Structure 1
Amino acid sequence: MNITNKTILVTGGNSGIGFAIAKHFKAQGNRVIITGRDKTKLEKAGQELSVETIPLDTTSESDVKNLVAIVSEKYKDLSILVNNAGLGQGYNLRDAENIIEIATAEFATNYFGTIRLTQALLPILKSQSEGAIINVSSQVAIVPFLVLPTYSDSKAALHSHTKALRLSLSNTSKIKVYEVFPALIDTAGTRALGLTNGLPADTAAEIISNGISQDQYEIFVGDEAVELNKNFYKDPQSTLENLNKALY
């Protein structure tokens, strides 16, 4: 799929990998709209990128309805949705006492929020001559990371849903459904979790763009993600244990 001269909506575009994706698509000659929960950060990112902004919390039904109304009026040619907004908390299952609360918040954004927004925008996406839904997942959707346990769960659920959505739309629309599996990406969020030496976000955005241009419906970002996926199908248990060395 050629991503130029398109109108693109990137959720969670005010920082991290979403910001890098928005910057990359903007540089390719697209009209880009970014969303985010923090209005101050969102406005700052919008000014820096010279893109349009819409405040959005994907867990809020009223926010999603407001966004759809704005898109229906101002961006009727929206053809690409990048579901990037995410939430994760680092902890270990053997120590945490509030697992349900953490898991509920993570699923609300990473899984249900993505589904809510996608379903709400599907009629607009279907009306275009071609379209795409790009779900930013994680390598932990394939193999869970013990210090991001319920985040891993939510991304595994998103992975399953994305596969079902892709097949469901394959014969009934011109929408292509892509899934992105980043390894560790260097962002403020990953550094806050104590995770360092990640792939630069700009590099990740370029890999994602190249994968879409080649119609790779599952895009593994970073050598670690590529190897993890390859090894998982050879030896799932060893791959799980190797990813989580010294964590159990």
Structure 2
Amino acid sequence: MKTTGNTIFISGGSAGIGLAIAKKLSAAGNKIIINGRSEERLQNALKELDHTVAIQGDLSVEADRIRIAEDLKTNYPELNIIVNNAGAAFINDLSDHNNNAAEKAYQEINTNYISVIHFTSLLIPQLLQQEEAAVINITSIAAFRSNKYLPTYSASKAALHSYTQGLRDTFSENEKLNVYEVYPPLVNTEFSAEIGGANGIPPSEVADELFTALANNQFEVPVGDSKKLHSLLNPITEQAPH
């Protein structure tokens, strides 16, 4: 896929992995539209980016998803790539009956899974009008294996992984639309600070891997420690009936 001359929407684009992707793709000569909940953070991010505008909104809210999709259709009809990066994660101790585990899981599933499905469905007709288009879903190494700290977050990313495979299969015969999945490991961002993110890789490494994958039409994009797990599991899952 071409790596320049695209119009790209990036959710969660004001910080962390989303901002790193915006920087990489902006520097390559693409028009970038970043999204986030905080207008202040969006404006700060714009100071670090070229060829970029912002649309404020919370994609976990249905009305905001619809509003943003309509904005993109009206003002950016040339949009040809969406990066579903916005996410929610909570440390969720399932042994603590006062933890309100189900509410945390609901927020994660809504943000990381249901919202992505709805928002993508709103924009697929627009993407299919382009000569070349892509949906890029940011999942996680946690999609392969959960743990006691992030059990419900991991489940939401596993669900997104499964949906991404199904979406790719759905459009496998359509040469216009490609579906990418990026599997970051622990990344050093504010988002992951509570779970030891300081020990993670820089978000720029995720952006670099994605850029290379776009150039090579590599639809599965494991990053860092995810590469070993992906190399073991992906050949097995690809043998399963589609």
Q: TM-score, normalised by structure 1?
A: 0.89
- Report 1:69-148 matches (<5 A): 69-95=70-96, 97-148=99-150
Question: Against the structure 1 CA distance between its residues 145 and 214, is the aligned structure 2 distance closer, same or farther, given a 3 Å change threshold?
Answer: farther
Give the root-mean-square deviation of aligned CA atoms.
1.7
Residue equivalent to 2:57 = 56
Give the CA deviation at 1:123: 1.0
Aligned partner of residue 199 in structure 1, secondary structure: coil
Normalized against structure 2, the TM-score is what?
0.92
Q: How much does 1:145 deviate?
A: 2.7
Query: Amino acid of the residue matched to residue 163 of structure 1?
Result: Q
Unaligned residue ranges in structure 1 (runs of 5+): 236-248
Counterpart in the other structure of 1:242: none
Residues 20, 205 of structure 1: 8 Å contact kept? yes
Once the two structures are TM-superposed, the CA of residue 58 in structure 1 deviates from its matched residue by 1.2
Counterpart pick for 1:149 among 128, 142, 151: 151
Question: Deviation per CA, 1:176-209, whole angstroms, max 9, x where unpaired?
Answer: 0000000111111212333332111112200111
Q: Which residues in structure 2 correspond to 1:201-220 (within 5 Å)?
A: 201-220=203-222
1:198 to 2:200 alignment: yes
Contact 2:94 2:101 in 1 (8 A): yes
Q: How far has the Cα of 1:92 moved from its partner?
A: 2.7
User: 1:126 touches 1:173 (CA, 8 Å); kept in 2?
Assistant: no
Amino acid in the other structure paired with 1:61: E
- Residue type of the partner of 1:41? R
Do the aligned residues in 1 keep the contact of 2:143 with 2:154 (CA within 8 Å)? yes
Which deviates more from structure 2 when the two are superposed, residues 181-190 or residues 150-159?
Answer: 181-190
Work out the percentage of aligned pairs sharing the same amino acid: 39
Are the equivalent residues in 2 in contact too, given 1:9–1:81 (CA < 8 A)?
Answer: yes
Structure 1 distance, partners of 2:213, 2:147, is: 25
Residue 44 (str. 1) matches residue 69 (str. 2): no
TM-aligned CA deviation for residue 74 of structure 1? 1.4
Aligned to 2:4: 4
Rounded to whole Å, the distance in 2 between the matches of 1:85 and 1:234 is 28
The amino acid across from 1:84 in the alignment is N
The counterpart of 2:166, out of the listed 159, 164, 167, is 164
SS of the residue 1:89 aligns to: coil
Q: Which amino acid aligns with 2:220?
A: E
Write the deviation string for residues 8-61 of structure 1: whole angstroms up to 9, x where unpaired.
000000000000000100000000000001121112112321410001211222
In the other structure, the counterpart of 1:15 is 15
Bigger drift between 165-174 and 10-19 goes to 165-174
Q: Deviations over 1:107-132 (max 9, x none)?
A: 11000111111001111101000100
Compute the displacement of 1:234 (Å): 9.8
- The aligned residue for residue 227 of structure 1 is 228
Aligned equivalents of 1:70 and 1:162: distance in 2? 25
Unaligned runs of 5+ in 2: 237-242
Equivalent pairs counted in the alignment come to 234
Task: Report deviation, 1:229.
Answer: 2.5
CA distance in structure 2 between the partners assigned to 1:215 and 1:95 by the alignment: 45
**Residue type at the aligned position of 1:126:** L
Q: Deviation of residue 90 (structure 1)?
A: 1.4
Q: Distance in 2 between matches of 1:171 and 1:229?
A: 24
Question: Are the equivalent residues in 1 in contact too, given 2:180–2:219 (CA < 8 A)?
Answer: yes
